[in-house]
Chain A
Amino acid sequence: MKIALGLALIGILAASPAVAHDFTQVSIYLDHPMIEEAPPNAPVLGGYLSIQNMGDVDDRLIAIESPAAEKVEMHRSTVTDGIARMQPMAEGLLVPAGQTVWLDDGMHAMFVKPAQRYRVGDEVPATLVFEKAGRIDVTFKVEERTAGAGASHEGHGQ
């Protein structure tokens, strides 16, 4: 079931008065924002979601803010040659027109120094800041960590 938690429609007026009636529509749907439950004093929490750009212009997720953590960083983590590495996504996350991208396996929102312990079922408020769509409030739901058979975030986009 698709839950559209945030929908932003904004018209961007063209600079020239001659084409003042032209506008481009950006519509962003956010699907299944979730945080994996972590140990009681875990200094960081990993957040995931999928972002669908239904509009006809590319957009970019440039920041995530949350009152529930000291800061939220976007990271890309990789395992190359057996070594785990994590890099900040300095350019943000491009969401091309008409496409869905996942902040999921390999990419995550890292909630640094959470304000309290969050357990399965808790809700963590946050705001996603897009270059064009602007600020969209979302609620990350805390879910059980997937482990064992088929551990992955597959299916989160559905």
Chain B
Amino acid sequence: MTGLRRLRVVLWVLVAIAAAGAAFLAFGPRFAPANAGEAIYAKPFSLVNQDGAPVTQADFLGKPSAWFYGFTHCPDVCPTALAEMSAILEALGPDADKLQVVFVSVDPERDTPEIMKDYVEYFDARIDGLTGDLAQVSTMAQDRYIFFEKVPMEDGDYQMEHQASIQLVDAEGRFFGTLAAEESFDVRLAKIRRLIDEG
């Protein structure tokens, strides 16, 4: 008898512990990565678009967006990424209106708004091409965990090393995912559709 009662007490104690644990998980502090859910794309910046008009972070919030960081002295990775984004905009049809595609120059010293205009509009006039002050681009890249670096060449020229993947961002400016170079077109398109539906 006493053994059974003791067991009953122990079981009730366990129930209490479980309930406290559940309450802690439900209402306690969230153990998410420090920057998950942080709207890093809502951090302030001030650049110019391909028409030379000033743009800020506010111009790219309110609908999901896809960002690529590259430069025009780039014979393969950058034009391929832009050509593929253009193909995705085509494939989206009318849904393309629900997405903003942005190409940011990490080489603003050479990429003037005029160069950016011809460059992005060759691929798709719906793509925004941003350039401007190098310090602004650097701050933006830092805020968004985007890598780029100038690499001098022997002949005095230089190249840029840069993030190769396209960054997907939700309407509130939160990081949503990436499109990687090795993915098939169908995978990229599916990711973009999910961004439009959920982001």
> Which of A21-29, A36-44, A55-63 contacts the other chain?
A36-44
Say which size band chain A's interface belongs to. Answer: 20 to 34
| Partner among B119, B123, B164 whose Cβ is within 8 Å of the Cβ of A41 | B119
Q: Once bound together, how far apart are the Cα atoms of A71 and B186, in whole Å?
A: 38
**What 0/1 pattern do residues 68 to 87 of B give for CB contact below 8 A with A?**
00101111110110011011
**What 0/1 pattern do residues 76 to 87 of A give for CB contact below 8 A with B?**
010100111110
Q: Once bound together, how far apart are the Cα atoms of A150 and B110, in whole Å?
A: 32
B77 touches A79 (CB 8 A): yes
B163 touches A88 (CB 8 A): no
Say which size band chain B's interface belongs to. Answer: 35 or more
| Partner among B75, B110, B119, B147 whose Cβ is within 8 Å of the Cβ of A46 | B75
Contact status of A36 and B79, CB under 8 A, knowing A79-B181, A150-B185? yes
Q: Once bound together, how far apart are the Cα atoms of A39 and B122, in whole Å?
A: 5
| Partner among B73, B122, B165 whose Cβ is within 8 Å of the Cβ of A44 | B73
B122 touches A40 (CB 8 A): yes
Task: Output the least CB separation between B88 and chain A (Å).
Answer: 8
> Which of B38-46, B56-64, B131-139, B154-162 contacts the other chain?
B154-162
B79 touches A148 (CB 8 A): no
B161 touches A40 (CB 8 A): no
B164 touches A151 (CB 8 A): no
Question: For B186, what are the chain A residues with a Cβ–Cβ distance below 8 Å?
Answer: 149
Counted as pairs of residues, one from A and one from B, with CB atoms less than 8 Å apart, the total is: 88
Question: For A84, what are the chain B residues with a Cβ–Cβ distance below 8 Å?
Answer: 70, 74, 77, 161-164
Q: Give B145-184 interface residues, CB cut-off 8 Å to A.
A: 147, 151, 153-154, 157, 159, 161-165, 178, 180-181, 184
| Partner among A43, A46, A108, A150 whose Cβ is within 8 Å of the Cβ of B72 | A43
Q: Once bound together, how far apart are the Cα atoms of A39 and B197, in whole Å?
A: 32
Q: Once bound together, how far apart are the Cα atoms of A128 and B193, in whole Å?
A: 45
| Partner among B72, B86, B159, B184 whose Cβ is within 8 Å of the Cβ of A147 | B86
**What 0/1 pattern do residues 139 to 158 of A give for CB contact below 8 A with B?**
00000011111110000000
Question: For B161, what are the chain A residues with a Cβ–Cβ distance below 8 Å?
Answer: 83-86
Q: Once bound together, how far apart are the Cα atoms of A108 and B87, in whole Å?
A: 23
A38 touches B79 (CB 8 A): yes
Interface residues of A (CB under 8 A from B): 36, 38-46, 75, 77, 79, 82-86, 88, 108, 110, 112, 145-151
The 5 closest A-B pairs by CB, nearest first: A46-B75, A147-B83, A39-B122, A148-B87, A84-B164
Interface residues of B (CB under 8 A from A): 70, 72-77, 79-80, 83-84, 86-87, 91, 110, 115, 118-119, 122-123, 147, 151, 153-154, 157, 159, 161-165, 178, 180-181, 184-186
